[in-house]
Structure 1
Amino acid sequence: MQQAIQHLVTLAQALGKPIDHDGLAAPVALIPDGVDIKSLEHLMHAPTRIRQKITVLDADSFIAYVNRFATPATAVFCNGPEGRTFSAVVDYHQPGLPAWSDHTATYCCPITVEWGRWKAGDRKRMDQASFAEFVEENVKDIVAPDDNATAPSAADMLEISRTLEAKKNITFRQGTRLDNGQVQLTYNEEIDGRAGESGQLNIPEQFFIGVKPFLGGDAFCVPARFRYRIVDGRLQMWFELVRPEKVLEEAYNAVRTKIKGAINEVPLYEATR
């Protein structure tokens, strides 16, 4: 009984005063109101451990951060092409040594504006004016691979879009596939309400875009199929990206290979935290 009383007296005398203990990383104080315990770590010269969670915007920054702070306990986790997230835990657990895991860096493979625009327009049917506007706004992304002689150049696509934009009163009659794989559209153009002019417009079967799916990542050449329908004499046009999910998978694998080869001895695990 006497020992318990003495213990209470000691606690009472310590109210509001710093208490150091061998098991504590930082001194604490007993606060009279509610007899609470408050850490005094914020009054020390430096924190007892790093507590930091950051999100980086490109793979190079992620690699640089990991290499700067890595310790034998550091581990990196990635959750595959679907999640596309890399997480580094600088103060991770070791066998028999649990840790706080308070110091982390995350890279979420953010999508570029360019890829976002093409993905948003994928399989979206457009009238002539809308299609022309879309092509003109994104013409810098259109490329002609050296190994594909029939691929239209950016200039070709720009010319097609301008032609479509200029001919506002056109009635399309039919589409014929040519030997080279292009589609030839036969149309009738009305001028000032008088007799029209007949003509032909050649449209390639597919074109290619060269874009970076991820911010700071590698660029990929992505094929896009041309699609069209003639509805009530009016032309609807759109494009279909060829296996865009495969493009993201390849882009993720390229990032994974880059990070794995640059973080030295830090282990990388396919896992979800």
Structure 2
Amino acid sequence: MQEAINKLTTLALALGKPFNHPGLPAPLALVPDDVRLQDLEEHLDAPVRIRQSLKVLDAQTFIDYVNRFASDASAVFCNGPEGRTFIAVLDYHQPGQPSWATHKATYQCPTTVEWGNWRKQDRQKLSQNDFAEFIEENVKDIVQPDGTSTAPSAADMLEISRTLEAKKNISFRQGIRLDNGQVQLTYNEEIDGRAGASGQLNIPEQFYIGIRPFLGGEAFCIPARFRYRITDGRLFMWYELVRPDKVLEEAYTAVREQIKAAIGQVPLYEANL
């Protein structure tokens, strides 16, 4: 009985008083309200460990952050071109030494506005006027690669879009593929409700866009095939990007190699994040 009284007395005397021990990372105290242990780390000059989860927007910032805080315990994980996410755990476990893993940096390869614009309209059948407006709004992304003199330039594509916009009251009849790979569309202009003069419009078989899929990443030259359909005299046009999935894969691989080469001895693992 006396032993129990002594323990209660000791407990009562300890309430609210911080106590420390060489084995504790921070002082502790018994809080009177609900008799629980209260961590007093917030009253120290500095935390006992880093607790930080940061999301960065480009690969170079990710690299700089890892190189600033990395130690022998740090590790980087990535999950392939589909997830295209990189996570640096700067206080990761070591063999026989578990860690809290509370200091992280994440880079998720955000895509650019330009990539989103071209992917959104990829394979979408547009009216003559809507297609012309799209090309005119995004003509700055159209390039003419070296060694492809037959590919249309940005100026050529702008001229095609303006021609399409100007030819409003026309009826298309057919398309003929020419020897140079272009398609020649034949049309009749309607004047005062009657069939007027005939005309022809040449469009290229394909064109190229030069854009960066990832913000701050490398630029890629991507071919796009012209497609069209004539229905009851109305022209519908669209384009088909050639293997956009492969472009993302190559863009991810380029980022992965960039990070791997820049973080030195920090290991990089493929994982299911």
The bucket for the TM-score relative to the shorter chain is over 0.9
* Residue 154 (structure 2) pairs with residue 150 (structure 1): no
| Partner AA of 1:68 in structure 2 | R
> 1:213-232 residue pairs with structure 2 within 5 A?
213-232=213-232
Structure 2 contact 62–105 (Cα < 8 Å) conserved: yes
The 1-side partners of 2:192 and 2:154 are apart by: 32
Aligned to 1:53: 53
The worse-fitting range, judged by mean Cα deviation, of 13-22 and 47-56 is 13-22
Partner of 1:75: 75
Partner SS for 1:124: coil
**What residue is the counterpart of 1:270 in the other structure?**
270
Closer/same/farther in 2, CA of residues 155 and 63 from structure 1, 3 Å limit: same
**Are the aligned partners of 2:15 and 2:32 in contact in 1 as well (CA < 8 Å)?**
yes
Whether 1:205 aligns to 2:205 is: yes
Once the 2 structures are TM-superposed, how far is the Cα of residue 192 of structure 1 from its aligned partner? Answer: 4.4
- 1:63-99 alpha-carbon deviations (Å, 9 max, x no partner): 0000000001000001111110011000000000000
Matching of residues 106-185 of structure 1 within 5 Å: 106-185=106-185
Q: Distance in 2 between matches of 1:195 and 1:66?
A: 69
Distance between the aligned counterparts of 1:147 and 1:219, measured in 2?
18
Q: How many residue pairs were aligned?
A: 273
Secondary structure, in 3 states, of the residue corresponding to 1:34?
coil
Aligned AA (1:21): H
Unaligned runs of 5+ in 1: none
2:103 counterpart residue number: 103
1:75-129 deviation line (CA, Å, top 9, x unaligned): 0001111110011000000000000000000000000000000000101110011
Question: Residue 242 of structure 2 aligns with which residue?
Answer: 242
Query: Structure 2 CA distance, aligned partners of 1:260 and 1:136?
Result: 40
Report the counterpart of residue 9 of structure 2 in structure 1. 9
The structure-2 alpha-carbon separation of the partners of 1:23 and 1:7, relative to structure 1 and needing over 3 Å to count, comes to: farther
Give TM-score, length-normalised by structure 2.
0.97
Q: Percent identity?
A: 73
- Structure 1 CA distance, aligned partners of 2:8 and 2:148? 86
Q: Distance in 2 between matches of 1:90 and 1:8?
A: 44
Alpha-carbon contact 2:188-2:195 (below 8 Å) kept: no
Deviation, 1:21, is 2.6
* 129-138 or 35-44, which deviates more: 35-44
TM-score (norm 1): 0.97
Measured in 1, the distance between the counterparts of 2:4 and 2:238 equals 83
Rounded to whole Å, the distance in 2 between the matches of 1:220 and 1:272 is: 27
Computed over aligned residues only, the root mean square deviation of the Cα atoms, in angstroms, reads 1.3
Offset, 1:190: 1.9
CA distance in 1 between partners of 2:221 and 2:130 (Å): 24
2:39 equivalent in structure 1 = 39
In 2, distance between residues paired with 1:2 and 1:217?
Answer: 74
Report the Cα distance in structure 2 between the residues aligned to 1:8 and 1:235, rounded to whole angstroms.
Answer: 91
